[in-house]
Structure 1
């Protein structure tokens, strides 16, 4: 990871516009869990790319190399298309929608493929009680987190207050046939907390239709499993929020998905305080007091999407409210690591995880 000092010894920023050596190391570490012990007779194909602003890994087991390469290339091409379509600030379908929202109540024809995505994101936002809120793109931009190389900044508190009071919500978006508009000009969509999971579900569905019996897809720590690797479950690592490598590992069964939200991926520090990219819609400020939240989602048609979305409300809710927030999203297996490094986890998650580090402080909840 590349750290740069900007203007003050008190001001530190993490910039990750491209895969850094540490990012590659962590990704490789996860895949070592996944591939270790594969039966020699089971061919395993692995391909990496950089999409959605993060490292992406596609691992396919049990297919001949040429076919696995073809399948993997199709998955990565679909990811690239989704990335361009759902990008919040670069030219694309979503950024064009955001331009229309700013001119509300103007009505414009919608790109059909976006309708079910936005409707699903709205449903999940309502499930979370608004803690997952893709409509707060203006707040994310205000904090400088919309950019491959962001400029850290301390926004004017008056601007933050004004955006919070404007209360942009997903339910402000209205579809009328082929037209759309927003009832609230403060709405600006940022699907960064949804798109990776949605992509996992599409990829898993595609690979299953192609008869693939074993695959593991990892988009920046959001991972979904298909089948097994030569009859053995896939084994994956959960990234340590403060160290290289994994804090724990687990077997990921067919159809299960796991996702982590952390304060270590995109953040800056000012006067010794860390400000991450996960914004609390209630306050307009980056969520505090949590290093990481991991959720394990059971097999289902939206497991990948939930693995991406469900960790955000729990992260924002913090130590006092994370369990309720995770349950509301259907995540019975969940873990939170607080700012001191203490581990809070559900009984269901505790049964699945094998921790790599000794001396951790644990708090188990039902």
Structure 2
């Protein structure tokens, strides 16, 4: 998923590798690979070096498999085939799992999350190449192709119910890849790990019995942090208007409000803490569209979900359970 080649990760592991291994016999082991148009990485604390490296290799393979399956760019991916043909036969079970989550998020967010916004992405990208924004008539045509309820799927088929539709799983696939990689690590008995697929998942502790620490980027100052947080037993994802902007003022960017066909105007970034990376990934996009009031209301109805937002004026707000430091 090439989107990540255009952005800097919103959250960086600022202390993940700085443990005191001599005080806890769980040395740090790391691995990295290319996927989603960027470098994904895994850090594991484990006494058995050989086991740790096997686990890391299988976890990276699991994450890369998600990219190969769900990329909008790889011709062999099932998402690419669906967008090309309008129908996909014999979908992979992992794709069905992600589409099921997409439908759930669309439902609970009142349509703020919608994987069928790909026609809008195409339209704005093509216009940006010419240094302009889409014409109103073009935008109206693209909006008619955006409707999550017009995507049908089961174990045998995935199909668009309206010709010309297309989907993108950029708002879920990297989170799902982190979940798949974590499952591979846990199958080897790994209990202490930090995974970065563009979204972050942390379990256990780093060497020295210290928490994995993440820093949340300031959306207007790439070298500054809004906050840091101890990531323990959770997943973290950030969406921001700076990730891929079509205009220098960040008014038009890669996150679209399906209702308007344009980018939401209230927030500059949203960071979500959730039980799974796929949930955090999808909710960070949904909450960007929903805005602070609606987002915090929905988060309060979900188990172990908290968020921090930074608005266009640089003001930050967070729910009571958000683990960031003041």
TM bin, normalised by shorter chain, reads 0.7 to 0.9
> Out of 81, 86, 89, which is 1:109 matched to?
89
Equivalent position SS for 2:287: helix
Deviation at 1:202, TM superposition (A): 0.9
Change (3 A) 1:343 1:110: same
Change (3 A) 1:52 1:329: farther
Equivalent position SS for 1:308: helix
Q: Which moved more, 1:313-322 or 1:174-183?
A: 174-183
> Out of 112, 137, 141, which is 1:158 matched to?
137
2:252 equivalent in structure 1: 275
Whether contact under 8 Å (1:172, 1:184) holds in the other structure is: yes
Residue 69 (structure 1) aligned with residue 53 (structure 2): yes
Whether contact under 8 Å (2:241, 2:250) holds in the other structure is: no
Equivalent position SS for 1:354: coil
Gaps of 5+ in 2: none
Equivalent position SS for 1:143: helix
- What does residue range 1-366 of structure 1 map to in structure 2 within 5 Å? 17=5, 23=8, 30-40=12-22, 41-91=25-75, 92-101=77-86, 109-113=89-93, 114-144=95-125, 153-169=132-148, 171-175=149-153, 178-220=156-198, 222-230=199-207, 231-243=209-221, 244-254=223-233, 256-270=234-248, 272=249, 274-298=251-275, 303-327=276-300, 330=303, 332-349=305-322, 352-355=323-326
Change (3 A) 1:207 1:353: same
Whether contact under 8 Å (2:219, 2:269) holds in the other structure is: yes
Q: For the residues of structure 2 that align with 1:319 and 1:127, how far apart are their CA atoms? A: 16
Q: For the residues of structure 2 that align with 1:44 and 1:153, how far apart are their CA atoms? A: 48
Gaps of 5+ in 1: 1-14, 102-106, 356-366
Greater relative contact order: 1 or 2 (C-alpha under 8 angstroms, separation 6 or more)? 2
Task: Map Cα deviations across residues 93-139 of structure 1 (whole Å, 9 max, x no partner).
Answer: 111111222xxxxx652323322322232122212211110012111
Deviation at 1:315, TM superposition (A): 0.8
Deviation at 1:253, TM superposition (A): 1.3
Change (3 A) 1:238 1:117: same
Equivalent position SS for 1:267: coil
Change (3 A) 1:280 1:61: same
1:361 equivalent in structure 2: none
TM-score (norm 1): 0.78
Deviation at 1:292, TM superposition (A): 0.7
Q: For the residues of structure 1 that align with 2:302 and 2:261, how far apart are their CA atoms? A: 22
Q: For the residues of structure 1 that align with 2:27 and 2:165, how far apart are their CA atoms? A: 48
Task: Map Cα deviations across residues 303-325 of structure 1 (whole Å, 9 max, x no partner).
Answer: 11111011111111224433234
Q: For the residues of structure 2 that align with 1:210 and 1:241, how far apart are their CA atoms? A: 37
Whether contact under 8 Å (2:4, 2:36) holds in the other structure is: no
Equivalent position SS for 2:272: strand
Q: How many residues align structurally? A: 318
Task: Map Cα deviations across residues 200-222 of structure 1 (whole Å, 9 max, x no partner).
Answer: 111111111110021000122x2
Whether contact under 8 Å (1:33, 1:237) holds in the other structure is: no
Change (3 A) 1:90 1:241: same
Change (3 A) 1:308 1:279: same
Whether contact under 8 Å (2:32, 2:40) holds in the other structure is: yes
